[in-house]
Structure 1
Amino acid sequence: MARFNQRVTQLRSALSRPTSPVTTTGALAANHQGGTGRVRDARSELFLLAVANFVAQETFYEGGEERDTRFAVLVRRLAVEDPAWTAGLLHWLRRDGQMRTASLVGGAEYVKARLDAGCTEGPANRRVIDSVLLRADEPGELLGYWTSRYGRALPKPLKRGIADAVRRLHSGRSLLKYDTASKGFRFGDVLNLVHAAPDPAKPWQGELFRYALDRRHRPESAVPPVGDRTLTAHRALMELPVAERRDVVTGPGGDERLAEAGMTWEALAGWLQGPMDAAAWEAVIPSMGTMALVRNLRNFDEAGVSDEVAAGAAERIRDPEAVAASRQFPFRYLAAHRHAPSLRWAYPLEQALGHSLSQVPALPGRTLVLVDRSGSMWSPLSERSQLNRADAAAVFGAALALRAADADLVEFGTTSAPVTYRTGESVLRVLERFGNLGGTDTVRAVERHYRGHDRVLIVTDEQASYTYRGDATRSVPDTVPVYTWNLAGYRLGHAPSGEGNRHTFGGLSGAAFRMVPLLEAGVSADWPW
């Protein structure tokens, strides 16, 4: 009866073979490195591309236009072939996936494809449009995309979906924050184009819409609704003579008055018509969101913000609940830490980064973590980011190793080598030990470092320079699970996935790793929506 006296992961593999959603088809093709890659089904390809695609961003192997075209083609195809799945992806992508522009583009392409094909089955076009709009400026963003690509003619489902979102999202505070002259489509333009009627449950919204139209077309005579305290307080501030405005900032209760009037830090300098000195920043810091605080640390220091106010801002930045509510990718805290102007911000940002990685699981047994540090991983994550996929991979790999019961952490490229770390050490300290290792010999890295581990996790773009029959993981026994975390969304995979202890995840947050304990418990994982 020794057949059941085996390692836990091997026993579970023998009794059940759980499946995961990202699936290869069995077909092979040449990848970007000239190696052999595995073709994925269309849903898997779109999912991995969507969770890694910052629209118009070039990657090492794909230009921005080429990448965006591949995304649009996949959305249009699946909007017709599998509308329920595609609608679910787009809704999840904007919310849990935290990919704003990709979801807006996807919503527009979904509607266009279904209208062109005459499709009526599946989720309504109107509902899909509403589902991808989460912030009050996004109806204008979506109109900007549609009109630049398909002209000024707006189909009814698009207009109705945007109108639903307008009723849900527009308020006095959002009007002040997002209805600015720099926008191609102001709030009033959106209302004119989609003819949104006020929400019956919001009796104040009719006057708000009127005011938004006046701000756009008759700004000199626009009068805010009397019942809206935010707009009324804002108008009172705007009517103050310029010479008296700095007294508001420096006087008692100035921070509360700015907050009540919805005065953002972006608008404050223009209102003051003068520099953003320490007093100005100290008055607006209490009403700033946590990521706005993170983006302005250098401005705070250059203006000479007091230690007391800075300490309060630091407490908010590192608060676990605030980190969770911000829904920011971990690499944003890494970027802020690298460019923090003074040491007083370093530790709070380090703590915030740790909180943002809280979903990385604590894995039992022995784990091999392989982190891709090849040349193709060094392209920026987005056009506005100074971070790259190599560092994102190292952050997640280090977090996995630090939380695991017993892990070997390895970086690989043309060569490979262990990365040392100590239990309880900061992810940032471990990150400093990673290097740039050239090509992508995943096969050799797995062969060299796998030594009877209970599982293998590979964080990579999957563009291996050499694979044997499209399987970079061939040296790991079939009874041992191998998890690939794809950070780039290229078309081909480096190994089979979806079943048989070979699974692929995607995205730039630690949420993907929640699948690992499920799969090892013998529970098949599904799409995250």
Structure 2
Amino acid sequence: MARQTYVELLRTADPARAPGFLRWLRVATPMRYPALVGAAAFAAGRLERGEHGLTRQVIASVLLRADDPGHLLAYWAAMYGPSLPKPVKRGVADAVTRLYDEAALLAYDDGGHHFELGFVHGDLPRHGGIRTPRPLRFGDVVKLVHPRARDQAQGDLFRYALARRNGRVRTVPATLPLVRQWAGDDAEPAADFGAREPEFSTAGPAGRLPGPMRLVTGLRRPTGSPPPGQWLAQLRRAGHADTVLAALPIVDLLARPGGRARLEPLIPHLPLATLLGHLRRFDVAGIGFETAMAVAARIADPAEVRAAGVGPLRFAAAWAGVHARRWEPALAAGARHSLGAVPWLRGRTLVVVQPRDDTRIVFGLALAQRCEAADVVALGGGRFPIRPEESPLHGLIRWHTADLRTPAPPDFAEYDRVVFVVEYRNDEPDVPADVPLYIWETLRHSPREYRPAFVSSPRRARFRGLGDASFSIIPHWEEFVAADQSGC
């Protein structure tokens, strides 16, 4: 298995090169969890061989997000046992001191019960996914590694995280104003923001919930009213609005009688990724014209698209989900703006796309748009002309109306790289050995059911599944291969 091979390579990796590779993997690629797994394997290998130094620094270097320490410690316990060596403990403690603050606590230490869906976990390994242990809560991490607080406020934060983990919170320290406001202990009076608080904010059990969570509970209640714009503005100033709006139970609310009317005032304020993910539901629910215009304006806004970091495939999924034609101009414009999130590829690229799947077509067209020079060919068919600066969704419409039945076999040797985007391919295409070949497969399958006739190598790479993160793989792969061949 590739994962076992990766772990074994890191366990015996050269200490002069492995730290830089792991740091690059964590910072410059979307492969966050593999970087944590690799750092743990590197540390375990050095400890087994009795080698000292470097482990603490490597562990700390890959922990860049506040939930990374919990993920790494959970993985270490699952793979290497509950005993935590001092270098690993100190590396995690360094990261905790650097990463843990009020915003991180509210964003990542959510206090959920971590419910598991067994059928989902059972399905992941079968289709090429990996099972990951549940991350440790902030309080568990603090208890295990004993980090040194950088100031009194962080010391209070550590103690609060421990009390919160054990369900023994009595009061929130005054040094944690953001946490106090979230918990409703330091809320401003209604007169301060120009309107009374929503009627659901203090009535019944909702009054005992954390402050902003009253919004969610109130929206669920039949008598709940939408919060005034001033209250949303207050949440945004406190840094809560995006978190609360992204966590709204949208599917549940739309299914309840009167839920659309209570949810509709909030829809234009939702994060762009949430808007795209639920656009079909909003359209079916029949949101009003003004709300739809506000949503369409945000989807087509280049600044919004750049700030959200969404890619062309997210817009393609929304395009496929909605049936009303009113969304097409906005989605096409947003998909064109999202091309800026696709890395630029130098040289000449050939993209071979197997038809009959819109995701494959949009991926191939978006990739070609971001190449210095590119040709797009239908698998077993003809060439498809690329128009500069065209939206991939407009290109999708042209694809379905183009006559690509006449085969036009390309000369692979003319290209700097060849990319196949297919359902599956068992044999290796007849591409010269000195031309890099990348194959993306969209068919879900089990390794037991299907094994390719060739394996990946520096110039032959195979990937399964498509997503917006897939666009970054080719430049990262070529950068790594070039560095490896130059001996850097």
Q: Which TM-score tier does this pair reach, normalised by the shorter chain? A: 0.5 to 0.7
Q: 1:211 aligns with which of 151, 160, 164?
A: 160
Partner secondary structure for residue 65 of structure 2: coil
Amino acid at match of 2:59: I
Q: Which residue of 1 aligns with 2:350?
A: 369
Unaligned ranges ≥5, structure 1:
1-65, 379-389, 435-444, 498-502
Amino acid at match of 2:45: A
Q: 2:381 aligns with which of 382, 405, 417?
A: 417
Partner secondary structure for residue 485 of structure 1: strand
* Partner Cα distance (2:453, 2:35) in 1: 19
Q: Which residue of 1 aligns with 2:202?
A: 240
The structure, 1 or 2, with the larger RCO (C-alpha pairs under 8 Å, 6+ apart) is: 1
CA apart distance, 1:296:
3.6
Asked if the contact 1:329/1:509 (under 8 Å) is kept, the reply is: no
Instruction: Report whether the alignment pairs 1:426 with 2:391.
Output: yes
Partner secondary structure for residue 384 of structure 2: coil
CA apart distance, 1:177:
2.6
* Partner Cα distance (2:45, 2:300) in 1: 44
Relative to structure 1, the CA distance from residue 466 to residue 230 in structure 2 (aligned partners, 3 Å threshold; closer, same or farther) is: closer
**Counterparts in 2 of 1:449-460, with a 5 A limit?**
449-450=410-411, 453=414, 455=416, 457-459=418-420
Q: Which residue of 2 aligns with 1:58?
A: none
% of aligned pairs identical? 31
* Partner Cα distance (2:68, 2:458) in 1: 38
Amino acid at match of 1:357: L
RMSD: 4.6
Partner secondary structure for residue 250 of structure 1: coil
Deviations 1:335-362 (A, max 9, x none): 3443347555544444444344335548
Relative to structure 1, the CA distance from residue 363 to residue 466 in structure 2 (aligned partners, 3 Å threshold; closer, same or farther) is: closer
Partner secondary structure for residue 449 of structure 1: coil
Q: 1:117 aligns with which of 45, 49, 73?
A: 49
Q: Which residue of 1 aligns with 2:31?
A: 99
Q: 2:144 aligns with which of 169, 193, 197?
A: 193
Relative to structure 1, the CA distance from residue 291 to residue 125 in structure 2 (aligned partners, 3 Å threshold; closer, same or farther) is: farther
Q: Which residue of 2 aligns with 1:226?
A: 174
* Partner Cα distance (1:186, 1:427) in 2: 42
Relative to structure 1, the CA distance from residue 460 to residue 406 in structure 2 (aligned partners, 3 Å threshold; closer, same or farther) is: closer
Amino acid at match of 2:244: T
Partner secondary structure for residue 28 of structure 2: coil
Asked if the contact 1:361/1:513 (under 8 Å) is kept, the reply is: no
Asked if the contact 2:360/2:421 (under 8 Å) is kept, the reply is: yes
Unaligned ranges ≥5, structure 2:
115-133, 188-199, 208-213, 219-223, 401-406, 442-451
Instruction: Report whether the alignment pairs 1:126 with 2:56.
Output: yes
Q: Which residue of 2 aligns with 1:265?
A: 245
CA apart distance, 1:101:
2.3
Greater Cα shift, 345-354 or 150-159: 345-354
* Partner Cα distance (1:105, 1:495) in 2: 22
Partner secondary structure for residue 51 of structure 2: coil
Amino acid at match of 1:187: F
Asked if the contact 1:371/1:393 (under 8 Å) is kept, the reply is: no
* Partner Cα distance (2:313, 2:253) in 1: 35
Partner secondary structure for residue 48 of structure 2: helix
Q: TM-score, normalised by structure 2?
A: 0.66
Q: TM-score, normalised by structure 1?
A: 0.62
Partner secondary structure for residue 90 of structure 2: helix
Relative to structure 1, the CA distance from residue 89 to residue 218 in structure 2 (aligned partners, 3 Å threshold; closer, same or farther) is: same
Deviations 1:455-510 (A, max 9, x none): 5533469966257xxx7326xxx8xxx3433547x89568884xxxxx97989444
Asked if the contact 1:166/1:196 (under 8 Å) is kept, the reply is: yes
Partner secondary structure for residue 12 of structure 2: helix
Deviations 1:76-115 (A, max 9, x none): 3244332343322322223321123222222222222222
**Counterparts in 2 of 1:339-488, with a 5 A limit?**
339-340=321-322, 343=325, 345-358=327-340, 359-361=342-344, 367=348, 369-371=350-352, 373=354, 394-402=361-369, 407-412=374-379, 416-424=380-388, 425-431=390-396, 433=399, 448-450=409-411, 453=414, 455=416, 457-459=418-420, 465=427, 472-473=431-432, 482-487=435-440
Q: 2:22 aligns with which of 90, 93, 96?
A: 90
* Partner Cα distance (1:281, 1:85) in 2: 53
